[in-house]
Structure 1
Amino acid sequence: MINQNLSITERIVRSILGVIITLWAINQAEMNILEWVAAIAGVFLVLNAIFGRCYLWFWLNLDSCQQSYGDNCTNDSACN
């Protein structure tokens, strides 16, 4: 398991965007490939926000949590 790498602000933004995108996608008259991709992306954004971990950012070596909390971010409770 990777350490948390999302700051509180980013987690809030991801959760709001994820809910908006998912709701938009599932409220369409027909679910085409675009709507399915958007719904899946929205769900992943919400999951990122809940757990505070983004695997894409881990692979790209990005960490907004560490910028906000410094060295205390290696402790999982620091970014909660």
Structure 2
Amino acid sequence: METPVESLTFEAALKELETIVARLESGETPLQDAIDLYERGNVLRARCADRLDAAQARIEAIRIDAEGRATTTPFAAA
């Protein structure tokens, strides 16, 4: 039984997504299994994106300026 995606940590979701991508790239997965894997992978991708967005929001919330004051300067991902 698969673990519900919403209960996975970012790291666990990313690891499972990487496994799915490797299986799909192998070209050895039967069509129906590939479709099921793709659907699960899409949900995992969304979960990872949501977790990254939440982390970005937390970073923005705790930025400190040169005088030690908290600021909410937007986080610029490089």
What TM-score, normalized to structure 2? 0.46
Higher-Rg structure is 2
**Between structures 1 and 2, the one with greater helix share:** 1
Q: Relative contact order (alpha carbons < 8 A, sep ≥ 6): 1 or 2 greater? A: 1
Greater strand fraction, Structure 1 or Structure 2: 2
